[in-house]
């Protein structure tokens, strides 16, 4: 699977009406993300990068074009199939973490396993495995409010990984974190990418971080692809500012 294509979009469009005006949030984007690749979607706010990520996640449907995940066209899936795609093929993390506040960390991480109808006997070990991977093994019984921002995002990452998806989608995962904690999360993503061979698509507006940790940068502007750049792939320094400067056009 390492050599194949994880995600391919073919002139994908997402238009919607806002009052009288037609908003072209994503307007004919064709990209390819290879298996095991770490791609950053860059752009300013309103550039359509988050909408494109939602299309890849199957949370939203394109109004035109096609979008393939492992050669299966999401545009042709019904809502049940899209739910299965979200459950089994992708894992997703958000800027706001979105851990359910009423549940403990362990229960939050277990949630995707419940939805995927994984056997009860298997769940605990899967949850522990995922939490160990993000180095949060000791905080099982804590509620999200009892955790720091970085811990919450690591918990969300464990939740995204627990059902062993092939593609990890991250929407501004460091947006709510201070820079040191943000770097920690970026290192963790890179580590997951390398150790598990996980395909990662990350939306961000922080170009330096993207350059430092991603393999490839896709720039978006006004719903269209506005350029492609190579990233440092985590081989640069921790901050990534030097490498970013070198690659800046």
Partner 1 sequence: MKMRDMTELAVRNLRESLLRNSLTTLGIGVGVASLVAMLSIGVGLQTLASRQLARSGLFNAIFVTPTAREPRFGRPRTGLQPVDESAHPLNADVKAQIAKLPNVTDVYSDVRLTLEVRYEGTSHMTSVAGLPESARGDGAFDGMKGSFFSSAKTDEAILQMEFAKQLSPQPESLIGKDVTIRFMSREPLPATSGGAGGAAGAPARKSAAGDAATGAGSGSGSGDEGGFSVVPHEKQIKVVGIVDADPSAGFGAFGRERVFLPLETAEEVQAAQVNDIQALLRGNPGERRYGSLTVRVKSPEDVAAVEASIKTMGFGTFSLLDASQNLQQVFRVFDSLMGIFGSLALVVASLGVINTLVMAILERRREIGVLKALGASDRDVRRLFFVEAGAMGLLGGVLGLAMGWAIGQAITFATNVYLRSHQIPPAKVTAVPLWLAAIAILFGVLVSLAAGIYPASRAARLNPVEALRYE
DSSP-derived letter for residue 76 is G
Q: How far is the CB of 110 from partner 1 (least distance, A)?
A: 9
How many whole angstroms separate alpha carbon 103 and alpha carbon 145?
A: 10
Q: Is 100 in the site for partner 1 (CB under 8 A)?
A: yes
Q: How far is the CB of 146 from partner 1 (least distance, A)?
A: 17
Q: Are 153 and 182 in contact (CB under 8 A)?
A: no
For the beta carbon of residue 240, count every other beta carbon within 10 angstroms. Answer: 23
CB of 171 or CB of 215, closer to partner 1: 171
Q: Is 87 in the site for partner 1 (CB under 8 A)?
A: yes
Could you tell me which stretch among 110-118, 126-134, 172-180, 206-214 binds partner 1 (CB under 8 A)?
Answer: 110-118
How many whole angstroms separate alpha carbon 202 and alpha carbon 199?
A: 10
Q: How many residues bind partner 1 (CB under 8 A)?
A: 25
How many whole angstroms separate alpha carbon 125 and alpha carbon 121?
A: 8
Q: Are 166 and 70 in contact (CB under 8 A)?
A: yes
Applying CB under 8 A, among 15, 34, 84, 205 the residue interacting with partner 1 is 84
Alpha helices in 146-225 (DSSP H): 149-161, 179-196, 207-213
CB of 204 or CB of 232, closer to partner 1: 204
Residues engaged in binding partner 1 (CB under 8 A): 54, 57, 59-60, 79-80, 83-84, 86-88, 92, 94, 98, 100, 102-103, 111-112, 114-117, 159, 163
């Amino acid at each position: 699977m390492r050599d194949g294509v994880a995600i391919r979009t073919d002139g994908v469009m997402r238009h919607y009406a806002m009052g009288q005006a037609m908003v072209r949030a994503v307007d004919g984007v064709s990209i390819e993300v290879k298996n095991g690749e770490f791609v950053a979607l860059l752009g300013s706010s309103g550039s359509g990068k988050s909408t494109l990520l939602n299309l890849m996640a199957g949370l939203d449907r394109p109004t035109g074009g096609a979008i393939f995940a492992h050669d299966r066209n999401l545009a042709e899936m019904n809502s049940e199939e899209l739910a299965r795609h979200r459950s089994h093929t992708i894992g997703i993390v958000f800027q706001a973490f979105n851990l359910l506040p009423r549940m403990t960390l362990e229960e939050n991480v277990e949630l995707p396993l419940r939805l995927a109808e994984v056997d009860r006997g298997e769940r605990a070990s899967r949850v522990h495995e995922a939490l160990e991977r993000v180095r949060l093994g000791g905080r099982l019984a804590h509620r999200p409010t009892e955790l720091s921002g970085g811990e919450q995002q690591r918990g969300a990452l464990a939740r995204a990984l627990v059902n062993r998806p092939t593609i990890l989608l991250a929407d501004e995962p460091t947006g709510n974190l201070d820079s040191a904690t943000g770097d920690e999360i970026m290192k963790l993503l890179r580590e997951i990418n390398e150790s598990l061979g996980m395909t990662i698509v990350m939306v961000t507006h922080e170009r330096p971080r993207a350059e430092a940790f991603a393999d490839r940068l896709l720039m978006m502007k006004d719903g269209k692809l506005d350029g492609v750049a190579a990233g440092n792939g985590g081989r640069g320094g921790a901050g990534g500012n030097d490498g970013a400067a070198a690659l800046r056009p």
